[in-house]
Amino acid sequence: MPEAVIVATARSPIGRAFKGSLTTIRPDEAVRQMVAAALAKVPQLDPADISDLMLGCGLPGGEQGFNMARVVAIMMGYDHLPGTTITRYCSSSLQTTRMAFHAIKAGEGDAFLSAGVECVSRYGKGSSDSWPDTQNPVFAGALERTAVRSGACAPDWRDPREDGEVPDVYVAMGQTAENVAQLRGITRQAQDEFGVRSQNLAEKALANSQLLDARFLAARALVDADQIVSARAAAATIATDVQAAAQAHAKIIEGLILLHEHDARKAIEVLSAANSVVVPCRM
């Protein structure tokens, strides 16, 4: 049985939804650039030997629709290359890596492309979820339970299957996190301490320029026919994004506790804007 190994990687910077320097980049173009960057690291690989492009996308609709993997293959001039776009929400790109690994182990091919993308800033053009009248009425009762849980003096979460009811498959990530925190016994203090540690590590990485390794994407994306932007200026724009995000978070435990004490939504026991973050635009 053949062994599967990762031979090259590439990633884009992470931007702020609707506000950052990456908001003008289409998701298919972002994928194209990252795939090209990864392949440039292995020039000995003939693109004709690649068996499939597997692309993960949480909400594959709108600009992220139309089997984006195949769209990217055509954009790169690889008309021979098939593509599949799959969703497992936040684990979509990881799933494509598993699929590529399994395909190689099973002898289905020797080389595969595993990628992932999500551009919340582009959801205005449409996405695969949240269209009116698309939720299954089977889950109406579950939706009502979630609404109660999100209010003040909410009851403790319990497995609805124990009461012969169905879970809420449409529950929001924030409410899911609260349920998991309660189920696993994660305290607000532990969440705050983890958030501070993450913040400190991010600041350290920024100081060492580790967060700017993929600056070439920003440089290419910010350059058009009417405006020439140097790679250094583009990297500085990304740095500004990161610094702005860093300044938006409290840096000490005492500050996080104050946020909790002044939180008007008493139903929120563990999560806050300071100790939780959603990465909106990433590859």
The alpha carbon dihedral of 111, 106, 59, 277 has a sign of: negative
Token pair 């610094």 is found at: 243
Token pair 């009116």 is found at: 132
Token pair 């595993």 is found at: 114
Higher pLDDT, 16 or 104: 104
Pairwise CA distance, residues 110 & 90, whole Å: 27
Cα dihedral: 202, 93, 282, 250 (round 10): -40
Mean pLDDT of the 205-216 span: 59
C-alpha to C-alpha distances, 191 to 46, 186, 194, nearest whole angstrom: 47, 7, 5
Token pair 């993997």 is found at: 69
Q: Using only the alpha carbons of the chain, give its radius of gyration.
A: 22
Q: How much is the pLDDT for 60?
A: 96
Q: How much is the pLDDT for 259?
A: 54
Examine the pLDDT at 162 and tell me if it is beyond 90. yes
Examine the pLDDT at 48 and tell me if it is beyond 90. yes
Ranges 39-43, 113-117, 176-180, 246-250: which has the least confidence: 246-250
Q: Containing H/E element for 242?
A: helix 231-247
Mean pLDDT of the 125-137 span: 92
Examine the pLDDT at 279 and tell me if it is beyond 50. no
The alpha carbon dihedral of 235, 240, 241, 247 has a sign of: positive
Examine the pLDDT at 93 and tell me if it is beyond 90. yes
Mean pLDDT of the 62-88 span: 98
